[in-house]
Structure 1
């Protein structure tokens, strides 16, 4: 029995040694694996950080370029609005000036025609000519009568006599 006990203790001893050897081997393997995974993660982290930085830099440049484009577009739009407003103001001012000059010339023509009408009324002593459905008539001024027994140059004439 003592040999069996010795065999069991030897087996237990070998098992412990083998366990310790396996632990050391696994620790070494896991340590190397952990190191390579850690390096891979750090490398990935560095690449991702570099990519994010490059993307942020690119986005910042794109935003700056877009901001400048928008500012140029807004400037052009306001310039266009200002020019169109100026042209519209100038053309409307021209139209108003032209219409004002037409109105002034029409008023002057009306004044000339009223003066001519006044002269004609003085020369015709207020006699008016009218045409109706029954024929043509001469209207005598108020306070006058017609004397129809006259001829001038062998034509019948009407003499106006005050009442």
Structure 2
């Protein structure tokens, strides 16, 4: 019995520095709760090979649902257009699949661009294939004037 207590004591003595180090590492980065949850903000950016940022989204916090799939809260995404303009997408919750480069939600979505505002329920965005869909209850409020289609059509 005495040998058992000594072995336990030795194990504890050797493990204490490791436990203390793990706790101090956790204090260094308060944003990481555990291996699958991030608090205090998350940003994901997609950059072309040329170095140009094409897509970025932020969220207040996120959690890993499964490998390569994040659930992100209070999402604000920015799509950078070739002409330099931006399209802003906002939703309460979205899922980001890193491998497929997809951002999806079944919640209310608001999209703001220089042309107007679109809203709807549910969204599918694939940045690799350049596919964007609002899934239902779509409403469009255009900010363009009649005849302002960029086609040089006289009014």
**Same fold by TM-score greater than 0.5:** no
Determine which structure has the larger strand proportion and give its number.
Answer: 2
Determine which structure has the larger helix proportion and give its number.
Answer: 1
* Normalised-by-shorter TM-score class: under 0.3
